[in-house]
Amino acid sequence: MTDQSYNFAYLDEQTKRMIRRAILKGVAVPGYQVPFASREMPMPYGWGTGGVQVTAACLVPEDVLKVIDQGADDTTNAVSIRKFFQRTAGVATTEATAEATVIQTRHRIPEQALTAGQILVYQVPIPEPLRFLEPRETETRKMHSLEEYGLMHVKLYEDIARHGSIATAYAYPVRVEGRYVMDPSPIPKFDNPKLSDSPALQLFGAGREQRIYALPPFTRVVSLDFDDHPFDPSKAPHDCDLCGAAESYLDEVITDDAGSRMFVCSDTDFCRSRREAGHVGRLGETAGGGA
Amino acid sequence: MTHDALTGGFSDAPTQSARAFRAILDALSRPGTIVTVTGATPPAPLSQAAGLVLLTLADGTTPVHLAGAADTPAVRDWITFHTGAPLVAAAQATFALGTWDALAPHDRFAIGTPEYPDRAATLIVELPSLSSRGPQLSGPGIRDRATLSLPETAAFKANHALFPLGFDCILTAGNRLAGLPRSTKVESA
């Protein structure tokens, strides 16, 4: 039930209109960061205030909302945002990727392929991919307007010169439709290929930095690389110890102080549905009860 | 101000505007898709869809330009009462509303600046009808190709050539609307 003390989806209508206009301009110019007047939310910056505002502006009463934090449905950030919208918008919630119409995510893209009609809302800490190379907003804005992205390639080259390969493992920069260089939020680079040509609409909200940007469905997104150092969406060379999946992104969990460890799917819904379907990993029997 | 100006708005703004926005978002993020909307009954000659777009997106911070036959006292009163949007000349408009011919010349609208391409106008183009027969569309939001009944192609080609600058269009006819952002490439059928 909606808490009647709040307007639908918490934000006032004037604020939602402002955010909605920013989202539409973001959709019209894929990858460009649209400034918006981010509001104070009843949670601190860094807890997904940008994503929450975008979600609030998009929600309709019929929506089914899923919230994930690093792939997990049951961590503090995911649980609290899910409860926030249950209370203020009265929407149904789910942990199943396929059932959700709006998915707010912190730093992962679900393993299960998204479908048309779904909206994926990313929480973004630093939306400007050039920020750590050029701290001045006036300059980065000029660099985007002139398509001057040489600095980013120098950064990737210096990675190769120093480490022998591109060492950026998350928030790996991408080029959208051959125009804007974009920060895909701190998703692991393993997820980068899923950004491109997705049937779902992808929206990005950065609350503290007051930026919204978007990838419409079927937008071409290319991870930056070099001919002799092609992009490599790497992951831990293991199978999931609970469900045995070989193709999912894994978290490493230390299990004792003697060096024992296990690898498990970061996407909890993906892992659980595989275990329910009978897949068992190396340690599956002992850990299966937690589903 | 006539009595009509006070009616025809949202009866439950939070949910009606939310559903209307999702329809507009769907249309603009999937060019070529035609969506059906309800919730607004603006005075003639505005279509329901055009009225709904203004109710959903316009307010005191977004200057609106009314072009040609859309610029009537009844429409002005209705927009002023329901949205509070200031009515301005074409060059200052965030939203411009009218038939395609009435909106001409189309290069008078804001197209944004190289550093702020979002500061561009959105044209609400009233059409007699909308169908998926017409010029070919391709680009972000479109799997391979889509088609949409556009009033012409030359102006949309010129607008796309300005990318990332350019205006964005919401095409309206009756209770249906479609989106044509500047990112969409238009080719004659």
pLDDT in tens, B95-128: 999 999 999 999 999 999 999 999 999 999 999 9
Query: Which strand ranges, in their side-by-side order, compose the sheet holding A64-69?
Result: A34-35, A211-215, A201-206, A119-123, A102-106, A64-69, A92-93
Mutation for testing the B interface, residue in A6, A11, A25, A210 having most B CBs under 10 Å: A25
**Rounded to an integer, what distance in angstroms lies between the CA atom of residue B98 and that of residue B79?**
14
Contact with chain A for residue B21, Cβ under 8 A: yes
**Rounded to an integer, what distance in angstroms lies between the CA atom of residue A80 and that of residue A68?**
11
| pLDDT > 60? residue A290 | no
Task: List, in order, residues 6 or more apart from A222 with CB less than 8 Å away.
Answer: A174, A175, A178, A196
Q: Phi-psi category of A107—alpha, beta or left, where left has phi over 0 and alpha has psi -120 to 50?
A: left
pLDDT in tens, A177-228: 999 999 999 999 999 999 999 999 999 999 999 999 999 999 999 999 999 9
Contacts of A13 in chain B (CB under 8 A): 13-14, 17
pLDDT at A5: 83
pLDDT at B180: 97
Mutation for testing the A interface, residue in B118, B122, B168 having most A CBs under 10 Å: B118
Q: For chain B, what is the radius of gyration of the CA atoms?
A: 16
pLDDT in tens, B46-89: 999 999 999 999 999 999 999 999 999 999 999 999 999 999 99
- Count CA atoms within 13 Å of residue A64 on its CB side: 10
For residue A85, what pLDDT band results from cuts at 50, 70 and 90?
A: very high
Q: Are A102 and A58 in contact (CB under 8 A)?
A: yes
For B33-43, what is the mean pLDDT? Answer: 95
pLDDT at A284: 76
Contacts of B117 in chain A (CB under 8 A): 25, 29, 32
Question: Can you list the domains of chain A with their CATH numbers?
Answer: 13-223 (3.40.50.11310), 250-290 (no CATH)
Q: Are A195 and A224 in contact (CB under 8 A)?
A: no
**Rounded to an integer, what distance in angstroms lies between the CA atom of residue A129 and that of residue A152?**
8
Q: Counting beta carbons within 10 angstroms of the beta carbon of residue A151, is it exposed (0 to 12), middle (13 to 18) or buried (19 or more)? A: middle
pLDDT in tens, A236-283: 899 999 999 999 999 999 999 999 999 999 999 999 999 999 999 998
Helix axes A49-58, B13-29, angle to 10 degrees: 100
Three-class secondary structure assignment of A130-141: CCCCCCCHHHHH
Contact with chain B for residue A59, Cβ under 8 A: yes
Residue of A nearest to B19 (CA): A60
Quickly name the fold that domain B3-187 has: Rossmann fold (3.40.50)
